[in-house]
A and B are shown apart, each in its own frame.
Chain A
Amino acid sequence: MTKSKFDAIVIGAGMSGNAAAYSMASRGLKVLQLERGEHPGSKNVQGAILYANMLGAIIPNFRDDAPLERHLVEQRFWLMDDSSHTGVHYRSDDFNELKPNRYTIIRAQFDKWFSSKVREAGGTVLCETTATKLARDQSGRVIGVYTDREGGVILADVVVLAEGVNGLLGTRAGLRDMPKPEHVALAVKEMHFLPEEVIAERFGLTDGEGCVIEAGGTISRGMAGLGFLYTNKESISVGIGCLVSGLAANMENPYRLLDAFKQHPSIRPLLAGSEIKEYAAHLIPEGGFKAIPQLFGNGWVVVGDAAQLNNAVHREGSNLAMTSGLMAGEAIFQIKSRGGLMTKRNLSLYKGMLDKSFVMQDLMKHKDLPSLLHTDSHNFFMTYPTLISQAAQNFVRVDGAPKINGEKATAAAFINARSRWGLISDAVRSAVSWR
């Protein structure tokens, strides 16, 4: 390794790391990016949906050569009990626009492409290299990193910690706490392959169109959790995630949850005949606004999942990651170009930019929701889905009994399960935390 000092070292080549490295390298900074996988993307797991606006802010013409799967024209939200689903579907031809808004992607391929842009911009990307420790001077300022390669410390003015939700460097150095079990969800996911035309037919799609299903209910067995099914070009990503605290308390097995989800009568026909080619697991930061750590200090900033920047309510993560990486890169470039040092005071510019953006505003808006779902998960994921399924069936089934009987049965079931006061309290608390 060269002994020369870098302007910045970026740890990790995921969404936030690539955004940060690209934004700095393309502005002429000397950037070193470390990635522990054999190529960028080989350690990264996501659903995965790409939000075009946020990538477009970094690489405007990404549609020319980025590996994109399908652009989304339909979103389904399903509330499930063991034998049914009650759904809200939104589909619009407006999404068949010239520059579509959202795409499904496959991260191992997408990250490889994103990283190639970092290299084209002049960044140095070093793969198969695990950063093991931050180097700090006597005052505690971060001055570089140690890796598992020979050659000692690599020096830089600033280190961008884009090391993901399970990042070791920042937590071991005491810059931030390790995520708590109630602040992270464990998601497991499989890749199911089917011919392109079979997927199109099953989901009612034409050329290049995609559909996603997100499903909550008894599939998570009373734990806070969500199942999902995303259509790629010739595969379907299917998975389920639950809070680690819930899994541990209930001693639930994530791959059995996934298998049960796949066997659900509403899901099984969509996957029939598919060939499974990969099984992955990953943590998702779910703590929201209140779990965000200190984001900057002397010689360092933290971005993306490592900073818990994930909007669990809207299921947005990669766009927050890209935006935080971009802003960290911009802030570092601005400080550098006016001859400033990478002090805590100067790097607060990054936090200032983030506070003004949708990233912090969205997370702030939903700051009470994670704890509500955590403390009241049985009602939200077991009781209500069951009640709503019964209500829908009472409404739909025709059996010769007067309609008023069905309505009375529905009302009685809700009151029996939660009591009038409980229903009002749940509604008020949900509304308040949503605001």
Chain B
Amino acid sequence: MKATIIERIEDKLYQNRYLVDTGRPHIAVRPHLSPSPNLLALTQICPAKCYELNEIGQVAIVSDGCLECGTCRVLCEASGDIEWNYPRGGFGVLFKFG
């Protein structure tokens, strides 16, 4: 059996530089009773793990660690599941290497 070390996403994001626009999140999840399949998929495929299921089975977002890739926008903006914008100029992730 091969050894598998599962690295925590929090540890990965910790290496990055961010300038968080406090109080002005750039992505919002539309209020819903139960999440659509695409919205549910974001809890798995978001590369920064911004989306999580809360205790009442709804998808919630904390966009502080967002890498601004746009995956959630491609999957969920057209249906209205989320509202997507870039952070204000200068804010958000600041890649040292890119």
User: Which A residues lie at the B interface, using CB under 8 A?
Assistant: 36-38, 41-46, 48, 82-83, 106-109, 111, 127-130, 147-149, 165-166, 168, 178-181, 184, 186, 188, 190-191, 235, 244, 247-248, 251-256, 259-260, 263, 265, 276-283
Contact = CB atoms under 8 A, between A and B. Distances in A.
5 contacts: A44-B95, A130-B87, A188-B47, A253-B45, A279-B67
A166 B73 contact: yes
B86 to A, nearest CB: 5
Q: Which of B4, B38, B70, B98 is packed against the most chain A CB atoms within 10 Å?
A: B98
A108 B69 CA distance: 16
B45 A37 contact: no
Contacts of B93: 43
Given A127-B89, A166-B69, A282-B69, A46 B13 contact: no
Contacts of A147: 89
A247 B88 contact: no
A127 B90 contact: yes
Given A255-B47, A279-B67, 10 more contacts: A36-B86, A42-B95, A107-B97, A127-B89, A148-B88, A244-B75, A259-B4, A263-B3, A277-B96, A281-B71
Q: Which of A44, A127, A149, A282 has the most CB of B within 10 A?
A: A282
Interface in B47-98: 47-49, 67-71, 73-75, 77-78, 84-90, 92-98
Contact of A244 (B45, B49, B85, B92): B45
Contact of B41 (A168, A251, A260, A279): A251
Contacts of A128: 89-90
A134 to B, nearest CB: 15
Given A37-B90, A265-B2, A277-B96, A180 B67 contact: no
Given A107-B97, A278-B16, A256 B6 contact: yes
A278 B71 contact: no
A283 B15 contact: no
A337 B5 CA distance: 61
Contacts of B98: 41-46, 48, 106-108, 111, 280
Interface of B: 2-7, 9, 12-13, 15-16, 19, 38, 41, 44-45, 47-49, 67-71, 73-75, 77-78, 84-90, 92-98
B6 A259 contact: yes
A254 B49 CA distance: 10
Contacts of A188: 47
Closest 6 CB pairs between A and B? A166-B70, A128-B90, A281-B47, A107-B98, A279-B12, A128-B89
A242 to B, nearest CB: 9
Given A44-B95, A165-B70, A166-B73, A255 B9 contact: yes
Contacts of A108: 95-98
Contact of A278 (B2, B75, B96): B96
Nearest to A275: B15
A279 B88 contact: no
Contacts of A168: 84-86
A37 to B, nearest CB: 7
A241 to B, nearest CB: 11
Contact of B69 (A149, A186, A191, A255): A186
A278 B95 contact: yes
Contacts of A281: 47-48, 67, 69, 71
A253 B89 contact: no
A166 B45 CA distance: 17
Contacts of A191: 97
Contacts of A254: 45, 47
A218 B4 CA distance: 16
Contacts of B13: 279
Contact of B73 (A36, A41, A178): A178
B12 A43 contact: no
A127 B19 CA distance: 15
B39 to A, nearest CB: 10
A89 B44 CA distance: 35
Contacts of B78: 178
A60 B19 CA distance: 36
A181 to B, nearest CB: 6
Nearest to A107: B98
B97 A253 contact: no
A42 B71 contact: no
Given A181-B75, A256-B6, A251 B44 contact: yes
B47 A259 contact: no
A42 B49 CA distance: 21
Nearest to A128: B90
